[in-house]
Every structure is written in structure tokens, then in C-alpha cells.
Chains A and B, each alone.
Chain A
Amino acid sequence: MPVEFKLPDLGEGIHEGEIIEVLVAVGDAVEDGQPILVVETDKATTEVPSPVSGKVAEILVKPGDEVKVGQVLMTFSVEAETEKPKPAEKAAAKEDETAAKMKDEPPQAAAAVPEERARPREEAPRAEERIGPVPAAPSTRRLARELGVDIRQVTPSGPGGRVTPEDVRAFAEKGAKPVAEAAAPPEREEGIPLAPAVISRVEIEDHARWGPVERIPLKSVRRATARHMALAWSQIPHVAHQDVADITDLEAFRRRHKAGIEEQGGALSLTVFALKAAVAALKAHPRFNASLDTAAEEIVLKRYYHIAVAVDSERGLIVPVIRDVDRKSITELSSELRSLAERTREGKTQVEELQGGTFTITNIGALGGTGFNPIINFPQVAILGMAQARWQAVVQEHREPYEIVPRLMLPLILGFDHRVVDGADAARFLNGVKESLEDPEKLLLV
């Protein structure tokens, strides 16, 4: 009996992927669990295992195809067996298993957006997602061009989705308007807004009217970043708390041990110390190592410390995760961070390495800057930003008379979710980070 294999629900923020490679051919016998496709899901590539044992009957995709959740990718012919669960059921079960494997976030992320999962997998195409020609009379299509209207954006009123001249005129008169409501607005539950499924689509005027323009498709990492940032910004009431840490002693310490660490294959960067300092603060302030589950109206405190580190790669921003930072030494973290950053830049990270972070560090200091406003890595609660450390004339206030001395000062920014923690909590948290960074010996104790 034939079994359809659909692209499984990939979880938070991911609704489609790009087929990188097809590993089987029509007629191949495949085993349950055998890799059959390589899919790039937003920021990482992953092998998709076969849901069943059977024969590949049809392959409906090719490398380069963009595929959506619920789209049929392949069909298998499977021998019906009465003892075992029906292949279709098994395939469905396996689909969920695969989905879990491919998920970008820990399970609570999915719980925060239950509508995502409950929604039927195959929806009727929305007005702005239609593929192929738009049904409209030639004169209507011409009218749309005259009025500078992209006819694909027009919500049709005619039978069977036909766009009428009135639809085009009405659209042109309204001008730029958000059409997100056409895209199945997220339902509200007790006044708490839930995650939108997509970046809301807002039309912009046709800029080609004023001069030449170039249009670049929003794809892959850029698209994932856009979606994730829009989600975070729309969901989290952000506050940024700032301070400056005196890292003169830490820098001296770092320089002393740099060569030794390098011999062991690591790179002793400021970020390594920040990882350590952050873990200490997270342990002292567990609400910063958490997620808000709006559906359950609960704060999920995490008993593990997986810290995500923002990496600038050619493909764009990628945020891999270092697991169990609390259980690793400075030396170990130096090696791991170095190799993880390298693999990230080479595009070799696996989906799992991008998942499960509980807190994020973003260090822009190498490029400059006195401060910035980092966006929290949803659904985490906080993010630590580091700008450029600079030598500054500092008034040593504990000496009498006051002395002005050159000190290496590091601007720190803590972006936090005000739904979960307050400004005072943030000040205490950042004070902890600051103290750790100012006293390298203290760092060794955490």
C-alpha cells in the first residue's frame, strides 16, 4: 500500500525548508530510519530519515525546491502487515518523531505556540501565497499594472478566487496596508497575544517609480533571522539595562594564559569569561534561565545552562549553543567555543547544535561600538550584549584623594523580558556578571 511522506512540522518558526540533496532514487528499497533527504531548515542542514521500510514509489522534489510543512515529498510502497501498526499510522508517528528531532527549540517553545501545531497541515492557499497565474481578465491584469498593483497581493472577490477590476481599484486606493489579517490572524487567549505564524506582510509602495531597484529574495538564514527577530520583538516587552565593567585585571589574566590555552587548541577570548560570568549570574538568578509559557501561564525554569553565542558568518547571524557551560572549565570552553564558531562559519553545524539555548551572549566588541540594544533570543528571558572594551580615564573613588587612572572598560548590556523579571532583578544580575568579570579569581570559583 502506498504511504505518503510529508515534510514534518519542524517546530518553532520553521515552516519550510530547502531540499539540498535527495539520497534515494525511485525503486530503491529503504529501511525505516534510513536517511532519504537532506533538508536545509532555515539555519542548518539535516538528514531526514525514512518513516517506513518499503520501496520509493515517487520522488516529488528535487534539490533546490522550497518545501513547506505538510507538502508530500515522496511516496513509498509498503507491504501491509497485520501484526505491526499500519504503515500510515507508523508514518505519522515517525513524522512526529522526526519533527521532534528537527525542532529548533526545547519542547516548551512548542508549548508556547500550541496553535502552530494544532493547525491543519494543509491549508487552502492564502491570497498572497498563491502560486501560478492569478485568475483575472486580461484587462484587469493590465489595470493592475497601470495602477502599480501586484495582482498577486489582491484579495479576490470573484467566484473561485477571481480578481475583479473593482478588487484591483479598491486595493490601489487603500495603498499600503497590512494584509496580515488575511493570513489567519493568531487567536487571542485571555488577552495574551500568541506567536504570529509568519512575518506580517505589509505592502510597501513600488519604489521602482523613483529609480532603479533590485529585489533580493528573502531566503535561508536571512529569512529565518527576520522571522525570529520579528517574533521576539513582537512578543517580548524588551528592556535594556546597561553598565560598564572594569576588565583591566581580567585582560592581564587573559594575556598571561592566552598562549597556554592556544597550545591546547583553544582561543581564550573575552566571550569565554563572559560565559563563565553568565553562568554564575544565572545560577544566582534562576528566572533569567527560563522561558515564559503564556499558554500555561507559567514560568519554565531550566535546570541546565546551555548558552547560545551569536556568530557572524558569511551566511548571516547564526547562534549555536554550548551545552552545560556550568560543568566546563575555562580551558574546555576555550576549545569548544573556538571549534563551534569555526564550524558555524563553515556552515557545518547540525540543527541540534542550534537548539536548546537557555540564555544568549552576543559580543560585538571586535567590531566596535559603545553600546547597543540586543534582541532577546525568543523564548529565552535575557541576552547579554558586550560592546567594545576601551581604555578610559577612570576616577578611582575609593582612594583619597581621588585618583584618575587608565582602566580597560567593557560596556555590558542586559536585554531582558520585563514580563518575567524586573529592572531591579536585572541590575542585580548584571552586577553579578560585572563582579565576576572584574575579578578573574572569582571567575575560577564558579
Chain B
Amino acid sequence: MVMGEFTQETEVLVIGGGPGGYAAAFRAADLGREVTIIDQEGRLGGVCLFRGCIPSKTLLHVAELITETRRAEEMGVTFDPPRLNIDKIRKWKNQVVERLARGLMDLSKNRGVQVIKGRAAFEDSHHVRVQGSDISRFTFKHAIIATGSRATPLPGFEEKRGGRIMSSTGALALADIPERLLVVGGGYVGVELGSIYASLGSRVTVVENNDRLMTGADADLVQILVRQLTELFHAIHTRTRVTSLEEREDGVAVTLEGAVDEPKQVFDRALVAIGRNPNSKDIGIENTKVSMNERGFISVDEQMRTSEPHIFAIGDVVGGAMLAHKAMHEGKVAAETLAGEPAAFDYQAIPAVVYTDPQIAWCGLTEEEARSRNQTVKVTRFPWSASGRAASLGLSRGMTKLIVDPETQRILGMGIVGREAGEMISEGVLAIEMGALAQDLALTIHPHPTLSESEEEVAEAFLGSSTHILPARK
């Protein structure tokens, strides 16, 4: 039945159903607004749930289990080498994803949030055209752009679906376990996915432009991870560039430039993980007054408003830390603002977690940021070799560090490397958000023996009184 063009009216239109988009939509619905989400997959979760955080962490847990069975030998428990059923691992991962995806759809249904499958593009500041949907046009009171980001391709080498050159999406599809895997990019995505494949049996080579891996995190934290990765990976080439990448019948032929013995190598697969670009093209931004910077990130204020006050933008598409939890909080700020609440994205610490083994987690100011800003800070470290809990787990490779303003003694940053660092970092985030002093952390009783004690002890070390490490000699 042809009905001509049908324009639907909605109060809040959210473009993109990733964590930022659905957090915004749910919050707006809870505040009594009528909400529609347009998502190109027609379901909620976005890259994070389907091709990012959740599948990668599911597989990283599998990798960790494999590592644990090997480590158990030292403790007197010997397992036979594990037999890996790749189809079953993939199925397990997909089950985890599906269960969560179903949950999100239930949550949106129960809140009365309408989810439309299609690709949305602004026609003007008040209308959005939708491709691939029965409802071809929306008019809205408020819009929230939550279109996210996509993996940056290596210049000149486009990813082919199912090909040997993959982005993180292809790598997480887990088509097979390649014998030799090249990882281009030593950021957190490269290092995490490299760890998964290495644990599953691939010979992994990591190539990184910079002089070290994980440049966003402090070098002393990364160093402890690199010690582990050197054992896990076949090779790590820093200060090295990929100058050519050719997909052939039998593999990927690569030319490397830098400190490499063999500049020409062949791999079974290559993973390109060199960053992410905002999805701000092809969504009709040019038909509105919404402004972007030269890298395509949408400009917003503290309330996540774009240059059009009734259009908001949140998550990766506005730049900053491209992390799901940041996007979710931005989404809530946008929803509350459009509902007239006095919200603001004024967070003082955004945590980042790398789910390798050991994990790295940090929040607030890093030591290197402080240095580059010429800000005077005092840094204290608590090595996990002094932690009873770490010893009992056989995980003494780890460290907790605290970055403190020496004048006010206020906690400015925290960094952790070691098992469960990601679970522990929230205490640091809370401390910073609350404006806590090092003493507040030191005077808070932490259970013994736990890894979280290291957070108390590192604060004590700042005050010169850690129980398990000797005070600095005067």
C-alpha cells in the first residue's frame, strides 16, 4: 500500500542506538519524554555490544582462563593443554551478546521507547530523513546525535568483508585462529585483540609507530604489561611503520619500515587498529547549523548542546575519550538538559581500562599529562610485590600509583596495572570526583587481604606511613 510520504512526529529523536544513544533515550523516557531511536541495525547496543567491548571482553576472559591453566602448574596443579573448539567459543561469545541485546530491547519496550531500523540523515534543523524504514521522515522537538565512530582504515588499504585484512570488527567475528597474525597499532584495541589471538594460539606480531605501546597510559604502568606481552607475543616492533600491505591468496604480504630484522613478511591475517573516526559524514550535518571541527568531531557545550540548541550530540562523535561509559554519561546529561534539569558534563575523572593480562586502568590526571602541563604533582607507587593478596594469587606483577597535588594533598589521578585493575579503578574515580585528599583514602579501612588494599597503601605511602613498604629515607 503506497501512502505517500509519511512524516512522524517525535519529541526526542536519538540517532544511533549505542550505549550513549540508549542511555540518553532511556533517561529521557524516564523523565517523561516521548522518545524514538533510529539505529541502522534496528537494535540497541551499537559497536560496544556487537563489535567491541562486550565480545572482546568475553573472549579476553577465555584467554585469561587459558593463561590461568598454564600458571597453575607453578602451584602444583597441572592441566593437559586445553583443547579449543573455536566454533563453540564463537557461539559462547555470540550467546553473551545476544542475551544482553535482548535485555536492552526489553528495557526499551518497557519504557515505551520506539526503535526504528534505518539510516538517518538531517534534511534541515527540524527534519530527519530515514532510509530503509517504513517511516521515511521524522520531525522532532529535540534530537540527540549518537552516531559513534568507526575504525580508521590504514590509508590506502580498505577492509574487505571476510578478507584477511581486518578491523576490530573482523577480528571479533573470530573466523579462524590464524597461525601468524599481524596487529597494526599498539593501542588498547591492538593489544587486547592481539592478546586474545595469542592466547588462542596465534603467533602475534605487533607494529606500532610510536616509541612504545599504549601511549595514553603512563609508561611505568605500560612497562609492566609489556614485560608480559613480550612473553605472549611473537614480536613487538615499536617505531615501526607499515609501508605496504597486500592481500594475496596465501596471506598478507607486508613491508615494514623501522627497527625490524625482516622488513618483508607474510602473515595469515592482519588486524588494523590505528584509531577511530567519528561517524559525522552522511548524516546531513551540513543541512543544519551544527558545527564540527576539522577532524569531523561535533562541537558541543557542557550540556552536550551543539550549535543548534535543540540538537545534542554525545559519545564518540563529539570526541574526547572514545569510551562507552563516557558516552553513557554524556547521553544522560543531554537527556536531563532537554528535560530542563540542571545537568552538566563536568566530570573530573573518566576511567580507562585495558583488559589485557595484566590489566591497566587509570583515571584523572596521568603523570605524563602533569609533566606536559608543567603541573607540580607528587607521585607515589605501591608495588604489588608487597601485597599479600597479589602473592596468594601468584600475581605479584602489578603496581598501584597515586598522583597527588603536593600543596592541597588532593588526589588528582590514579593508575593501576595488575589483575582486576579495571574493577579497582572506580575507587580512584570516586575519590577524585569527591575531591578526596590522600588522607581520606589512607584513613578508609580496606579489607585484608585484597588487591584494593594497594589503594589504601599507596595513599599511606604518600603520607609516609605505608604498613608494607618502608618509608622513604630522609
Q: Do A and B bind each other?
A: yes
**Which A residues lie at the B interface, using CB under 8 A?**
60, 133, 135-138, 141-142, 145-146, 158-163
Q: Are A160 and B409 within 8 A (Cβ)?
A: yes
Q: Are B342 and A146 within 8 A (Cβ)?
A: yes
18 contacts between A and B (CB under 8 A): A133-B348, A135-B410, A137-B434, A138-B346, A138-B347, A142-B343, A145-B342, A145-B344, A159-B437, A159-B439, A160-B405, A160-B408, A160-B435, A160-B437, A162-B410, A162-B435, A162-B437, A163-B435
CB distance from A288 to the nearest CB of B (A): 50
Please give 16 more A-B residue pairs, beta carbons under 8 A apart, in addition to A135-B408, A162-B435.
Answer: A135-B410, A136-B435, A137-B433, A137-B435, A138-B346, A138-B347, A138-B433, A141-B344, A141-B346, A142-B342, A145-B343, A159-B437, A159-B439, A160-B405, A160-B408, A162-B410
Q: How many angstroms between the C-alpha atoms of A142 and B343 in the bound complex? A: 7
**Which B residues lie at the A interface, using CB under 8 A?**
342-344, 346-348, 374, 405, 408-410, 433-435, 437, 439
Q: How many angstroms between the C-alpha atoms of A137 and B349 in the bound complex? A: 12
Q: Which secondary structure dominates chain B's binding surface?
A: loop
Q: How many angstroms between the C-alpha atoms of A48 and B224 in the bound complex? A: 48
Q: Are A133 and B346 within 8 A (Cβ)?
A: yes
Which chain B residues border A159 with CB–CB below 8 Å? 437, 439
Given A60-B374, A136-B435, A137-B434, is A160 in contact with B344 using a C-beta cutoff of 8 Å? no
CB distance from B374 to the nearest CB of A (A): 7
CB-CB nearest in chain A for B375: A132
CB distance from B74 to the nearest CB of A (A): 44
Which chain A residues border B405 with CB–CB below 8 Å? 160
Which chain B residues border A137 with CB–CB below 8 Å? 433-435
Which chain B residues border A133 with CB–CB below 8 Å? 346, 348
Given A60-B374, A160-B410, A161-B408, is A135 in contact with B435 using a C-beta cutoff of 8 Å? yes
Q: How many angstroms between the C-alpha atoms of A160 and B435 in the bound complex? A: 9
Which chain B residues border A141 with CB–CB below 8 Å? 344, 346
CB distance from A138 to the nearest CB of B (A): 5
Q: How many angstroms between the C-alpha atoms of A162 and B433 in the bound complex? A: 11
Which chain B residues border A158 with CB–CB below 8 Å? 435
CB distance from A168 to the nearest CB of B (A): 13
Give the 5 A-B residue pairs with the shortest CB-CB distance, closest first: A135-B435, A160-B408, A145-B342, A162-B435, A137-B434
CB distance from A198 to the nearest CB of B (A): 23
CB-CB nearest in chain A for B440: A159
Q: How many angstroms between the C-alpha atoms of A141 and B433 in the bound complex? A: 10
Q: How many angstroms between the C-alpha atoms of A273 and B285 in the bound complex? A: 63
CB distance from B408 to the nearest CB of A (A): 4
CB distance from A69 to the nearest CB of B (A): 19
CB distance from A341 to the nearest CB of B (A): 41
Which chain A residues border B344 with CB–CB below 8 Å? 141, 145
Q: How many angstroms between the C-alpha atoms of A368 and B410 in the bound complex? A: 59
Which chain B residues border A135 with CB–CB below 8 Å? 408, 410, 435
